[in-house]
Structure 1
Amino acid sequence: MPANESAPSAKKKGRRARLIVLLLVLALLAGLGYGAYWTVDSVRASYPETTGEIRLKGLAGRVEVKRDAHGIPQLYADSDEDLFRAQGYVHAQDRFWEMDVRRHMTSGRLSEMFGGGQVETDAFLRTLGWRRVAETEYNTKLSPQTKKYLQAYADGVNAWLQGRSGKDLSVEHAALKLTEDYAPEQWTPVDSVAWLKAMAWDLRGNMQDEIDRSLMSSRLTKAQIDELYPPYPFDRNRPIVTGGGVDSATGKYDPQGASGSGSSSGNGSGSSLRGAGQGLRTQLTALSETLDEIPAILGPNGSGIGSNSWVVSGRHTTTGKPLLANDPHLAPQLPSVWYQMGLHCRTVSASCQYDVAGFTFSGMPGVVIGHNQDIAWGMTNLGADVTDLYLEQVRPEGYVYDGKTLPFTTREEVIKVAGGASKKITVRTTNNGPLVSDRSDELATVGERAPVAGSAPDRGTGYAVALRWTALDPGRSMDAVFKLNRARDFKEFRAAARDFEVPSQNLIYADNKGATGNIGYQAPGRIPVRTTGDGRMPAPGWDSKYAWKKFVPQDELPFDYNPKRGFIVTANQAVIQSGEDKYPYTLTTDWGYGARSQRINDLIEAKIKDGGKVSTDDMRTMQTDNSSEIATLLTPILSKIQIDDPDVREAQRLLEGWNYTQEPDSAAAAYFNAVWRNILQLAFGDKMPKELRIEGRCLNVRADASGPADDLSELVRECGQRDEDSAQPDGGDRWFEVVRNLIKDEKSAWWHSPATRLDPASTTRDQLFARAMKDARWELTAKLGKDTGTWSWGRLHRLTLKNQTIGTEGPGFMQWLLNRGPWNLGGGEATVNATGWNAASGYSVTWVPSMRMVVNLNDLDKSRWINLTGASGHAYNSHYTDQTDLWAKGELLDWAFSKEAVDKATEDTLVLKP
């Protein structure tokens, strides 16, 4: 379910009403209002059996499931299929509610569980067709071996399901069964494959930026938009790969070789869409609102979807072999999206090939991030531009392409609704992809406002928006997971990466071969090369010049192996510099801006300077680094501004001598971040188009304007006063770069802010900063009290873990039952310890390091890991959030891998027998 709901609409009221019914049933089950109907034994009915023996149909031999003190299982088997059958069984034991909800989401069937409030979400997901693509992948693309593993996994899940219903599955299933007699279907291999589509959707790259830039063009000039989307600072923040190119003789990328030439970026497409005008803007506004309603399994798409990973060569470590760290930044969820597990063949052989451990996804076989006996790997989001929006000219009989009208490819989808009537939709597809704009009722009048005669795009002549996305093409990413799990060296690792088509991830590598081991990096993915255009703005779908030409050849994607510097850092920064005499392909122009990556680079370089060595604990300490880049830039300026108001001056003094670290108990961090949020609002929020993210009134007075304003101060004057509903920047590291580039221009029009009843207009940087400091002082007075001595960043910056369905809405007592927290956290936006927050909505934690790991390639049993929550998805189980306190403190658990270490850590053993 979407976690961040806005003002109730009819749709949201319907969904909320449905959930309230479930909540009341849960209250009854919990015995809160109607007696002890739900006994302790009944609550425990769904808990996993962790000791004794269970017969499991289909097994060829015995499988041992050994769990440690935190309920983390290590599985031992004698064949691959037994191993994955047991993995399915164990995942279902702990996380079946999560798995069941997830497969309904990926197939566009949430309405079958939660009623009519989910129909629009289901309709959009059916339009994308994740499930249909997953079926095609399973039937036509995946290897026979992978299909066997997927079937074995499904058999294991179904073995656990057999004979269970209601409270035997979970408390949430019990509520559904009593309200609508819900019973889950059998698990299928396609249910597992479809998960990769949801993962790819959340990590899809710059689609929202593409929409936002187009919407900005209605009120801002190209130069102004460019100021808000500055180029990556290659002179300051190191990319992942710092040299090399594609060798023209071999056609292969050489990280140390001669650079390639040319660029595929082409020209922007904005000029070709001028005729679309208001029609396009209305389409994109509605599409943006629709996207906000789609459940984000991994997190909110945008600056928060990131991760850190880095690897240090054995030449620079205290162990003499590589150390590899990874912490993906995703939405906080309860349970965590990750599930820790080990998959071990008692004897590795041709019939049993796996000895691997790490972080898995419930509902999918294999290990996603972790290590085997030879190598370790981690992932961060590459952020490649793999989506393009196309504005289509549509007619009653089809869509226009190169002057001809072609027929739509159509299909009907029936959405079943729990407790209500089914809804039928028609999905229309062009050669650029499905018409995603068909799924918004708000588009009914677009054709009337578009500069093309006719009715709305979904009813006749007009415009519509199609989505071209690599994940809608069947691929082999599931094959890649198993190849990664089996890889023994860098050659096999790269071979596995070739199949990792979507989502495009930075893959980091280490092994234990030779005297000091080896480290490496590979950029995989199906990344388009555009014939014309650079993907920054929606393209004209009627012109074949804007079609995708090809995909970047896998042999030409950037990689690195044992670089001279002795370490590799990936944290969503630019992979490599493209352009003339550099890398010949444009992977994206919307990188993260390198605040985190460069800080990690600096920390490693400082540690190894003059022969120093990096330890496992050093890696852990780096993961929890709280230093703020934007505070380092702005605090010296803020500290020098003349402040007359004694109360504001008292707050300003908090910044004096501050070291720019955002610890939970820091009053200075609290005040600075409040100042930063107010700077963003004053400088940028009132100047954004009303359609951008948040509905606003400020610019409505310019609705009859013919085009962008040439002078930003004109927009400010016409607003008249600050508008609380205007579009607020999210405060990510793109905004760090925007402000860095403006900071020396003290009279930039961006520093202009209108007068209010209490404040005069600002026309210079320092005037706006002084006003932001005043506003921040009174904002924190309201939130934390007048005494600045009681302020702390952690009191503002809190994490509450919410059950991702029932726990996101409803009465407070039910949230108390299902949710956990709050935790007062340090860290912040674009900080290595990336406890992100969105300046548009407040200071609460919106994305987190969803897990942390440090792999020691010299002694794998000395590796360490932690999960955001715990192994269990059952709300009252002792392993529901038993790792969260340690996680919040930046601590890690010992990670046993060898048979001896696992046996020593084992507290419960379950034997699965044929």
Structure 2
Amino acid sequence: MSVFNNISGSILKLLLTSISRKRLPQINGELSLQGLIKKVEIIRDRWGIPHIYADNLHDLFFAQGFTHAQDRLWQMEIFRRTAVGKLSELFGEIALETDRASRTFGFNRIGKIDLESASKDIHEIIHAYTDGVNAFIKHPTLKMPVEFTLLKYRVKPWEHEDTMALSRLLIWQLSHAWYGEIIRAQIIEKVGFEHAAELEIHYPENNPVTLSREIEFNRIEPDGSLKGVSGPFLNRGKGSNSWVVSGERTDTGMPILCNDMHLSLMLPSIWYEVHLVAEQYNVTGVSLPGVPMIMVGHNTYIGWGMTLAFTDCEDLYIEEFDTENGRRYKSGNDWLEAQIISETIDVKGKDIPAIEEITITKHGPIISDVAGYPAKRLSVNSMALKPCPALLGWLSINTAKNWDDFVQAMKYIEAPQLGVTYADVKGNIGYWVTGKVPIRASGFGEVPSPGWSGEFDWTGEVPFEEMPHCLNPKSNVIITCNNRIIPDNYPYFLGNVWMNGYRALRSKELIDNKERLTVEDFKKLQSDFMCIPGLNFAKHFENIASDDSIVSSAIDYLKSWDGNLTPESIGGTIYEVTRYTLIRNILERGLGKDLTDKIMGKTFNPVLLATHEFYGHDIVIIIRMLDNKNSWWIKQAGGYEKVLIESIEKAVKWLKENFGNDTSNWQWGKIHRAIFPHAMGIRKPLDKVFNCGPLPIGGDNDTICQTAIDSEHPYDNKTITPTYRQIIDFSNLSKSIAVHAPGQSGHLGSIHYNDLAKLWIKGKYHPILWTRSEIENEAEGKLNLISQ
């Protein structure tokens, strides 16, 4: 059957690629469109990146919407249907659970509120962008991507609400703490408080904190001079990396800002590179198809990067409903009427639509059923589900000229919770944590709390001015890798959901090892595969022996492994397979397979992808257990030596069955591979047509070049990976570089469908073209849009 799928997939790919090539967007000449005020020039460089030149902001964002639709219309269709809960109309019952969840969380409902309260500038940008998308959809001579042909579907016009719903979906997907509360509650139900405590998360004490208690701060005064002052409380003091170093630590005397954002691999790439120029607006970087402006990049004056801050801004509540009137729920001594919304979901292949009844309390929607925890009626209170002017924040970053402008932009981003790095052409560096963080009446929001008591409600928010931040720290370095942000004596509770800090520790080691850093140093840093917890794990096998020659050889490989998880590593393979096997050996005995899967990263929905604080901490928890040989969990698994030898024996058995007895074939890149999945590639033989990969790749959850492991497909990497890398050189912005994967285009027949994957997998980059002359020297096409 696999041979048949390969042959039929190859034939189908040739056919669909041929059709797609005849439908590629126009990139040369002239095109007349309704809705433009003046002419717009779109110059595409040889990597397929459009550089858009307009005379006014309306035409600029109109053209951005048009180019998004030219290259990514199918992806935009999937994105908006995910956000508004209409995937079932295209894919049938298989997508119904995702639609139910999207409707329950209410991305479309909240997006409409955001649009109603948006500023005049944002309204104008959304209108112009929408008109640009629809100018492509409605143009009589422009042809649709092949995916629409396969589904026999004609795309409907883009609406303003689609952009707003999509922005809300992105905000929510960058939040994560609520799902950990369910997992923690299930662990306690399964093994009790005492044994659950051994699985609790403790940030490793030797791993870095982004803002330490010794840090001192400087502040820009209006005259541009610098003077030392203390930042609020900080002097007492998931998925991405960002580092920024001042000119005191670089070879040029000017800052370098680096960022690589770790999100799910997909095809097309989640990001779309674009350069936008009009009036005083000149900004380049990556955008999200379906949403205007630039998410991460630089303008003429400043550059910025983003990581998840991993502050805890979500809580679950157990609600008590009236048994006689199911619409009423208890709040103190009163009974409140819940809001009931009935949603109709059309399902392909079904004559009768599905009806989803959504119940909303004062805390938020009831999510028990869609979250897979129907035993309790749980509501979710989340900053990500509250209206906020986040798009105004991005507009303000795009147009910022200095630190003060940047800080104002941070204030608008009430969600999501991000650690945003900053540098500017005057030589300043900085950092600010965005997003509102709740102040709780009591408790820490670590398990679902009684919603009727009021004792665990939110009573306020951490003041914006007191959120973690710094400007020009004395260290001249800022490192943020989803690690702990603040020390223990910070006066507000921000949560305990940080990642384990090993990427930050390795980053600090490499940055501290060199007095003056270069762009080349940061290129190496972003591709680093050193796995520090892997070395800690391997130490436990120093006194383990086996009579089996292949198992003994595997133990020797593990003992001599240098910690580098390169694609060629054999010792790294043995570590990863043994680690995975050992974690399951220990946890499944007490928790069962399903709950162990959740701890190791399985999410409640494969599309909406809610992550949680346990993810990435499994190795820390296991090493802590191994260090404490008297752990109840270790005893349950048969004792320290037994669990080690059984785990490596099972690992070797699996490796022999899949790769043979010759250990030289056990290379990590043969097992661990990057796959870029397309929405149409979930079924055979279309996976051979649309997907990109598999590509051998190094790393794991704990390496700087993070290539996280999916618990359901433990070695093929279909999960979190650096989706965009940028290095901004403020000595000369034209020396800045970037890469995302697999390519700019969503068209199967385009040379830019997966051309950037070759650079990305090798840790290489393309230049971020900045000046008009540089762009024209690398031009692949020039299209003039004129008003009809």
Give the 3 Å change call, closer, same or farther, for CA 437–749 of structure 1 in structure 2: closer
Amino acid at match of 1:873: G
**Secondary structure, counterpart of 1:335 in structure 2:** coil
- Report what 2:334 is aligned to: 404
Question: Shift of residue 388 of structure 1?
Answer: 1.1
Structure-1-length-normalised TM-score: 0.79
Question: Shift of residue 38 of structure 1?
Answer: 6.8
- Report what 1:662 is aligned to: 565
Distance 2:252 2:98 in 1: 51
Distance 2:107 2:621 in 1: 36
Give the 3 Å change call, closer, same or farther, for CA 730–208 of structure 1 in structure 2: closer
Question: Shift of residue 690 of structure 1?
Answer: 6.2
1:590-605 correspondence runs (5 A): 590-605=497-512
Matched, 1:175 2:150: yes
The one of 598, 620, 634 equivalent to 1:751 is: 634
Greater Cα offset, 394-403 or 208-217: 394-403
The one of 60, 74, 96 equivalent to 1:119 is: 96
Give the 3 Å change call, closer, same or farther, for CA 237–136 of structure 1 in structure 2: same
Q: Deviations over 1:402-442 (max 9, x none)?
A: 13222111122221223422222322111111111255898
Question: Shift of residue 732 of structure 1?
Answer: 5.1
- Report what 1:824 is aligned to: 696
Matched, 1:190 2:156: no
The one of 247, 252, 255 equivalent to 1:314 is: 247
Give the 3 Å change call, closer, same or farther, for CA 589–617 of structure 1 in structure 2: same
Amino acid at match of 1:798: R
1:852-871 correspondence runs (5 A): 852-871=725-744
Unpaired runs of at least 5, structure 1? 1-23, 248-253, 264-304, 346-351, 447-462, 697-728, 755-761
Give the 3 Å change call, closer, same or farther, for CA 436–160 of structure 1 in structure 2: same
Give the 3 Å change call, closer, same or farther, for CA 487–874 of structure 1 in structure 2: same
- Report what 1:476 is aligned to: 389
Question: Shift of residue 114 of structure 1?
Answer: 1.9
**Secondary structure, counterpart of 1:795 in structure 2:** helix
Whether the 8 Å contact between 1:146 and 1:479 is mirrored in structure 2 is yes
Amino acid at match of 2:86: R
Q: Deviations over 1:34-64 (max 9, x none)?
A: xx99793x43343111100111222222211
Question: Shift of residue 205 of structure 1?
Answer: 2.2
Whether the 8 Å contact between 1:730 and 1:838 is mirrored in structure 2 is no
Q: Deviations over 1:71-90 (max 9, x none)?
A: 11111111111111100000
The one of 86, 98, 103 equivalent to 2:75 is: 98
Distance 1:744 1:339 in 2: 46
Matched, 1:434 2:306: no
Distance 2:651 2:354 in 1: 49
Distance 2:712 2:372 in 1: 26
- Report what 2:176 is aligned to: 205
Whether the 8 Å contact between 1:80 and 1:353 is mirrored in structure 2 is no
Structure-2-length-normalised TM-score: 0.91
- Report what 2:313 is aligned to: 386
- Report what 1:133 is aligned to: 110
Amino acid at match of 1:742: M
- Report what 1:573 is aligned to: 483
The one of 400, 413, 418 equivalent to 1:487 is: 400
Whether the 8 Å contact between 1:157 and 1:187 is mirrored in structure 2 is yes
More contact order relative to length (CA 8 Å, sep ≥ 6): 2
1:32-431 correspondence runs (5 A): 32=12, 40=18, 42-140=19-117, 142-163=118-139, 168-177=143-152, 182-233=153-204, 235-243=205-213, 256=230, 259=233, 305-345=238-278, 352-395=279-322, 396-397=324-325, 398-420=328-350, 421-431=352-362
Distance 1:442 1:383 in 2: 24
Computing the radius of gyration from Cα coordinates, the structure with the larger value is 1
Question: Shift of residue 607 of structure 1?
Answer: 1.4
The one of 523, 539, 545 equivalent to 1:636 is: 539
Distance 1:482 1:797 in 2: 39
Distance 2:17 2:443 in 1: 63
**Secondary structure, counterpart of 1:53 in structure 2:** strand
Whether the 8 Å contact between 1:255 and 1:560 is mirrored in structure 2 is no
Give the 3 Å change call, closer, same or farther, for CA 528–442 of structure 1 in structure 2: closer
- Report what 1:532 is aligned to: 442
Whether the 8 Å contact between 2:211 and 2:234 is mirrored in structure 1 is no
Question: Shift of residue 236 of structure 1?
Answer: 0.9
Give the 3 Å change call, closer, same or farther, for CA 429–911 of structure 1 in structure 2: same
- Report what 1:18 is aligned to: none
Give the 3 Å change call, closer, same or farther, for CA 80–814 of structure 1 in structure 2: same
- Report what 2:221 is aligned to: none
Distance 2:444 2:298 in 1: 37
Amino acid at match of 2:501: G
Q: Deviations over 1:228-276 (max 9, x none)?
A: 123223x4112111138999xxxxxx9835749999xxxxxxxxxxxxx
Question: Shift of residue 126 of structure 1?
Answer: 1.2
Distance 1:48 1:532 in 2: 57
Whether the 8 Å contact between 1:379 and 1:507 is mirrored in structure 2 is yes
Number of residue equivalences: 754
Distance 2:252 2:496 in 1: 39
Matched, 1:891 2:772: no
Give the 3 Å change call, closer, same or farther, for CA 868–32 of structure 1 in structure 2: closer
The one of 540, 548, 554 equivalent to 1:645 is: 548
- Report what 2:422 is aligned to: 509
Whether the 8 Å contact between 1:326 and 1:378 is mirrored in structure 2 is yes
Question: Shift of residue 492 of structure 1?
Answer: 0.7
Q: Deviations over 1:801-847 (max 9, x none)?
A: 211x2112x22x32111112110111112110101113554211122
Distance 2:533 2:774 in 1: 44
Distance 2:215 2:510 in 1: 28
Question: Shift of residue 875 of structure 1?
Answer: 1.6
Give the 3 Å change call, closer, same or farther, for CA 888–199 of structure 1 in structure 2: same
- Report what 2:782 is aligned to: 909
Whether the 8 Å contact between 2:177 and 2:613 is mirrored in structure 1 is no
Distance 1:133 1:327 in 2: 29
Give the 3 Å change call, closer, same or farther, for CA 800–599 of structure 1 in structure 2: same
**Secondary structure, counterpart of 2:627 in structure 1:** coil
Q: Deviations over 1:458-507 (max 9, x none)?
A: xxxxx511111112221100101110000111111111010111111110
Give the 3 Å change call, closer, same or farther, for CA 39–511 of structure 1 in structure 2: closer
Whether the 8 Å contact between 2:692 and 2:742 is mirrored in structure 1 is no
Question: Shift of residue 129 of structure 1?
Answer: 1.3
Question: Shift of residue 311 of structure 1?
Answer: 0.5
The one of 639, 650, 653 equivalent to 1:775 is: 650
Question: Shift of residue 555 of structure 1?
Answer: 1.2
Greater Cα offset, 73-82 or 634-643: 634-643
Question: Shift of residue 861 of structure 1?
Answer: 0.7
**Secondary structure, counterpart of 1:871 in structure 2:** coil
Give the 3 Å change call, closer, same or farther, for CA 794–730 of structure 1 in structure 2: farther
Whether the 8 Å contact between 1:866 and 1:891 is mirrored in structure 2 is yes
Q: Deviations over 1:756-807 (max 9, x none)?
A: xxxxxx32x233212222221111111211011222000110112211x211
- Report what 1:807 is aligned to: 681
Question: Shift of residue 31 of structure 1?
Answer: 7.6
Give the 3 Å change call, closer, same or farther, for CA 353–639 of structure 1 in structure 2: same
**Secondary structure, counterpart of 1:838 in structure 2:** coil
Whether the 8 Å contact between 1:216 and 1:689 is mirrored in structure 2 is no
**Secondary structure, counterpart of 1:168 in structure 2:** coil
Distance 1:558 1:873 in 2: 39
Amino acid at match of 1:329: H
Distance 1:566 1:244 in 2: 13
- Report what 1:607 is aligned to: 514
Question: Shift of residue 734 of structure 1?
Answer: 1.2
**Secondary structure, counterpart of 2:156 in structure 1:** coil
1:679-828 correspondence runs (5 A): 679-688=582-591, 692=595, 733-754=616-637, 762-763=638-639, 765-803=640-678, 805-808=679-682, 810-811=683-684, 813-828=685-700
